[in-house]
């Protein structure tokens, strides 16, 4: 009843905004463009996703490398392999994971319902499009890794939750299994578990040569991890430690026999690439391939033949470099501007790979990269109904109170007046080593068409400048993140972009926490706040679903020092009667089993109780949706239209 009553109040308020329909129509029109995902090659087949524009879920296609019909090739239309839109009338069943066998014969795919993190895995015959009877349930926070021979795949799962606790019960004791094609899940082989460590999670990889199983063992959301390995095809082989201590991050890139290539921040906060021989695992014996950079964060490495493709972050934008197997620099892969590039998936023996480039005014363009010539060519370029030349992006740097230099991207129509009159949407995250890099968004474009400024701040707690930047916003240092965000708002006001009466702040998940904490600490600086699916109760957050895992970043309420820091900024616990808070629209979903909606429910109810001014406090609760992944296009457009309608009214746009 409370949910229905709150939604009724919110809908009544938003229905009074005359421009709501026009905003919804424009969002719909701009979203209606073809989007094609990066192809993944397996055997002689390519798999990729495609959305014609307004399909609730993207469709999975398959194309052949060589065939009689051009339409079945990658340059043609391909063939529909799996259409999630046929699985539910409202688009709330989403394709949440895929893994194709090495020869391209079988596809393991995961489905999630109503935005839940729970996945159910099925197997589809790629040639016929028919499903096998296999079904894998209660998988979460892990993909699928096929054996080289295609006989089955490795996956992670939890025990079946108690009835009624599917969306709220804590997730402990993850286990790694192997599923043999054509057998029941009850017959799956337990590969690895650690009953002595209930908070360990497992992610499996199989090396390209099929000789090794790599098991990444995580502990909560800590950037550090352990790494184990098992020789495959060797009867009785045990799981052995490669890096058994939680002292750094270790990512397996590839191998030459018993020599493993590892991306790590061990003794290198900005990360480096090393070669490790299984015969001598001592750090002193490691061979450094690509050393740590003084200024650029080494974010990703791909290995093709004897060439490493290395993606760096330089002031939160992508730079691509290539190196040979010994670490000799081969040159840079040129990008068309300041933005973000990602992809470069594939197998060691591939002769091509694909990557995408995007920026705040550049819709994501896909490129095919020829690994033999080192040349890029456009694979797919979308057509969006706007002129990028009408907009500009600036990267600015501003000081936080302790003197730290913080970067921020500011995008808007060209020629705006810096007279403090521009409605401004300030977005941030600041946590879990996640970097906010330039990206194209129809939502941001619509906001700028409405005359708004769109700003993205690269706060401490993220990964923009390596592990030191991340650690500066963790645990008892979390206040640095809020200081950085508040300083971003002050900069935008000081430089004339906006004024407190026209400044809105927004963020989701950890970013929802950010918004809640900052509007508590500086209610005078912001006119509007949009905290989405936020972690708002910093004392009880470990008690639900995967919340315990976030203690790696936030700290533990059971630790006295960390409790004091958590309580000092907890959005729920720092709301004070008699304070005039910004106009607030809290956003959450009834099936969010990552940040359970009780966080937002309690925060909204308390804020409504203590609000002293006339600014509205509303909550919008989406039904049949979760934390965000897999949300149908229609629901995404509806939510954004409501957010902007709210801002039109409270910012008097």
Give me the mean pLDDT over the 393-422 stretch: 97
What pLDDT, in 10s, does the model give residues 451-476?
Answer: 999 999 999 999 999 999 999 999 99
Helix axes 479-494, 560-569, angle to 10 degrees: 30
User: What percentage of the chain carries pLDDT values higher than 70?
Assistant: 99
DSSP 161: P
Backbone φ and ψ for 335, nearest 5 degrees, come out as -110, 155
Report d(CA 385, CA 382) in Å as an integer: 10
Structure tokens at 608: 């409504």
Is residue 11 pLDDT above 60, yes or no? yes
Alpha helices in 15-159 (DSSP H): 20-31
Give me the mean pLDDT over the 352-375 stretch: 96
3-state secondary structure 352-374: EEEEEEEECCEEEEEEEEECCCC
DSSP 117: S
Helix axes 633-650, 20-31, angle to 10 degrees: 140
In this predicted structure, what is the pLDDT of residue 67?
60
Neighbours of 69 (CB within 10 A): 10
Burial call 517-549: b when 16+ CB within 10 Å, e when fewer? bbbbbbbebbbbbbbbbbbbbbeebbebbbbbb
Give me the mean pLDDT over the 20-39 stretch: 97
| DSSP states of 259-299 | EEEEEE-TT-TT-EEEEEETTB--GGG-EEEEPPPSS-EEE
In this predicted structure, what is the pLDDT of residue 74?
86
Report d(CA 604, CA 83) in Å as an integer: 38
Top-confidence residue, 30 or 170:
30
In this predicted structure, what is the pLDDT of residue 278?
97
Nearest to 467 by CA among 491, 495, 433: 433
DSSP 72: G
Is residue 261 pLDDT above 60, yes or no? yes
Is residue 40 pLDDT above 70, yes or no? yes
3-state secondary structure 381-412: CCCCCCCHHHEEEEEEEEECCCCCEEEEEEEE
In this predicted structure, what is the pLDDT of residue 68?
54
Residue 48 forms part of a structural domain: no
Structure tokens at 18: 């005359």
Report d(CA 578, CA 580) in Å as an integer: 7
Structure tokens at 182: 């054509």
Structure tokens at 54: 């307004």
In this predicted structure, what is the pLDDT of residue 71?
57
Give the three-state DSSP class for 562: helix
In this predicted structure, what is the pLDDT of residue 77?
84
Residue 376 contacts residue 368 (beta carbons within 8 Å): yes
In this predicted structure, what is the pLDDT of residue 466?
95
What pLDDT, in 10s, does the model give residues 606-630?
Answer: 999 999 989 999 999 998 888 888 8
Residue 604 forms part of a structural domain: yes
The strand pairing partners of 107, in sequence order, are 100, 124
Residues whose CB is less than 8 angstroms from the CB of residue 112 and which lie 6 or more positions away in sequence, other chains included: 93, 94, 96, 118, 119, 120, 626, 629, 630
Domain CATH code at residue 521: 3.40.50.1820
The strand pairing partners of 353, in sequence order, are 369
**For residue 514, what are the CA distances in angstroms to 220, 505, 580, 603?**
20, 9, 19, 13
pLDDT band for position 588 (50/70/90)? very high
Report d(CA 358, CA 90) in Å as an integer: 30
Backbone φ and ψ for 28, nearest 5 degrees, come out as -65, -45
Residue 526 forms part of a structural domain: yes
Residues whose CB is less than 8 angstroms from the CB of residue 577 and which lie 6 or more positions away in sequence, other chains included: 609, 610, 612
Region of poorest pLDDT, from 36-40, 110-114, 526-530: 110-114
Give me the mean pLDDT over the 545-563 stretch: 95
Residue 289 contacts residue 282 (beta carbons within 8 Å): no
In this predicted structure, what is the pLDDT of residue 65?
72
Residue 419 forms part of a structural domain: yes
Report d(CA 618, CA 645) in Å as an integer: 13
DSSP 474: S
For the chain, how many structural domains are there in total?
Answer: 1
Residue 127 forms part of a structural domain: no
Residue 13 forms part of a structural domain: no
How many residues in total does the chain contain? Answer: 653
Distance of CA 398 to the CA centre of its chain: 26
Top-confidence residue, 339 or 629:
339
Residues whose CB is less than 8 angstroms from the CB of residue 462 and which lie 6 or more positions away in sequence, other chains included: 429, 430, 431, 432, 433, 434, 435, 436, 469, 470, 473
Catalytic site residue 412?
Answer: no
In this predicted structure, what is the pLDDT of residue 237?
96
Residues whose CB is less than 8 angstroms from the CB of residue 25 and which lie 6 or more positions away in sequence, other chains included: none
The secondary structure element, H or E, covering residue 606 is helix 598-610
Report d(CA 460, CA 54) in Å as an integer: 36
Residue 250 contacts residue 243 (beta carbons within 8 Å): yes
In this predicted structure, what is the pLDDT of residue 69?
55
Catalytic site residue 131?
Answer: no
Residue 600 forms part of a structural domain: yes
Residue ranges making up the domain that contains 399 = 391-627
In this predicted structure, what is the pLDDT of residue 70?
55
Indicate which residue of 484, 537, 553, 592 is catalytic: 592
User: What percentage of the chain carries pLDDT values higher than 90?
Assistant: 90
In this predicted structure, what is the pLDDT of residue 628?
82
Residue 202 forms part of a structural domain: no
Catalytic site residue 592?
Answer: yes
Give me the mean pLDDT over the 185-195 stretch: 97
Over its C-alpha atoms, the chain yields an Rg (Å, rounded) of 25
Q: What angle do CA 88, 94, 100 make, to 5 degrees?
A: 125
Nearest to 291 by CA among 253, 318, 258, 264: 264
Indicate which residue of 412, 470, 599, 627 is catalytic: 627
The shares of helix, strand and coil residues in the chain, as percent rounded to the nearest 5, are 20, 35, 45
Please, what is the average pLDDT of the chain?
95
Structure tokens at 373: 């010539």
Report d(CA 334, CA 280) in Å as an integer: 38
Q: Which stretches of 371-511 are assigned E, i.e. beta strand?
A: 375-380, 391-399, 405-413, 424-427, 453-457, 503-508
Indicate which residue of 293, 340, 509, 570 is catalytic: 509
**For residue 590, what are the CA distances in angstroms to 260, 302, 533, 596, 598?**
44, 39, 10, 8, 9
Residue 228 contacts residue 200 (beta carbons within 8 Å): no
């Amino acid at each position: 009843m409370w949910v229905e009553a709150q939604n009724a109040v919110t809908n009544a308020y938003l229905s009074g905004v005359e421009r709501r329909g026009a905003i919804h129509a424009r969002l719909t029109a701009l979203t209606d463009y073809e989007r094609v995902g990066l192809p993944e090659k397996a055997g002689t087949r390519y798999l990729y996703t495609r959305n014609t524009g307004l399909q609730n879920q993207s469709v999975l296609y398959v194309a052949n490398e060589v065939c009689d019909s051009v339409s079945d090739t990658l340059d043609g239309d391909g063939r529909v392999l799996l259409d999630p839109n046929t699985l539910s009338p409202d688009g709330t069943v989403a394709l949440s994971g895929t893994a194709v066998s090495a020869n391209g014969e079988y596809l393991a795919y995961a489905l999630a319902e109503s935005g839940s993190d729970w996945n159910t895995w099925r197997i589809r015959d790629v040639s016929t499009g028919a499903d096998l009877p296999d079904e894998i349930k209660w998988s979460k926070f892990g993909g699928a890794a096929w054996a080289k021979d295609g006989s089955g795949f490795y996956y992670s799962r939890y025990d079946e939750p108690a009835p009624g606790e599917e969306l709220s019960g804590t997730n402990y004791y993850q286990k790694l299994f192997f599923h043999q094609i054509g057998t029941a899940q009850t017959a799956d082989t337990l590969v690895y578990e650690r009953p002595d460590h209930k908070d360990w999670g497992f992610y499996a990889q199989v090396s390209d040569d099929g000789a090794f199983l790599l098991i990444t063992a995580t502990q909560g959301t800590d950037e550090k991890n352990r790494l184990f390995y098992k020789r495959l095809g060797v009867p009785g082989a045990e799981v052995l430690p490669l890096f058994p201590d939680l002292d750094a991050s270790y990512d397996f890139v590839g191998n030459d026999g018993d020599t493993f290539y590892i991306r790590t921040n061990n003794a290198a906060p900005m990360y480096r690439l090393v070669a490790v021989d299984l015969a001598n695992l001592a750090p002193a014996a490691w061979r450094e391939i690509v050393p740590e950079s003084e200024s650029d964060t080494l974010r990703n490495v791909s290995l093709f033949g004897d060439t490493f493709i290395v993606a760096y972050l330089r002031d939160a934008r992508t730079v691509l470099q290539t190196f040979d197997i010994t670490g000799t620099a081969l040159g840079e892969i040129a990008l068309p501007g300041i933005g973000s590039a990602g992809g470069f998936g594939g197998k060691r023996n591939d002769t091509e790979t694909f990557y995408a480039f995007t920026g705040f005014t550049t819709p994501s363009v896909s490129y095919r990269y020829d690994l033999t010539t080192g040349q890029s060519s456009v694979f797919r370029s979308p057509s969006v109904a706007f002129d990028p030349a009408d907009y500009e992006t600036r990267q600015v740097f501003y000081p936080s109170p302790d003197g730290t230099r913080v970067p921020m991207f500011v995008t808007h129509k060209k020629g705006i007046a810096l007279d403090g009159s521009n409605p401004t949407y300030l977005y941030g995250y600041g946590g879990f080593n996640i970097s906010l890099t330039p990206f194209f968004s129809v939502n941001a474009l619509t906001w700028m068409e409405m005359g708004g400024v769109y700003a993205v701040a690269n706060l401490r707690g993220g990964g923009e400048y390596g592990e030191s930047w991340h650690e500066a916003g963790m645990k008892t240092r979390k206040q640095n993140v809020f200081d950085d965000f508040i300083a971003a708002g002050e900069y935008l006001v000081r430089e004339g972009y906006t004024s407190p009466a026209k400044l809105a702040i927004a963020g989701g998940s950890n970013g929802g926490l950010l918004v809640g904490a900052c509007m508590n600490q500086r209610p005078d600086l912001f006119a509007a706040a949009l905290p989405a699916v936020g972690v708002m109760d910093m004392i009880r957050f470990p008690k639900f679903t995967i919340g315990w895992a976030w203690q790696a970043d936030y700290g533990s309420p059971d630790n006295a020092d960390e409790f004091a820091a958590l309580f000092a900024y907890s959005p729920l616990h720092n709301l004070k009667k008699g304070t005039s808070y910004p106009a607030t629209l809290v956003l959450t979903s009834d099936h969010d089993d990552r940040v359970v909606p009780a966080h937002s429910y309690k925060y909204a109810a308390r804020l409504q109780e203590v609000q002293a001014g006339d600014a509205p406090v509303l909550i919008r609760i989406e039904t049949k949706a979760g934390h965000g992944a897999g949300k149908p296009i229609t629901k995404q457009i509806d939510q954004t239209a409501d957010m902007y309608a709210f801002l039109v009214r409270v910012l008097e746009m």
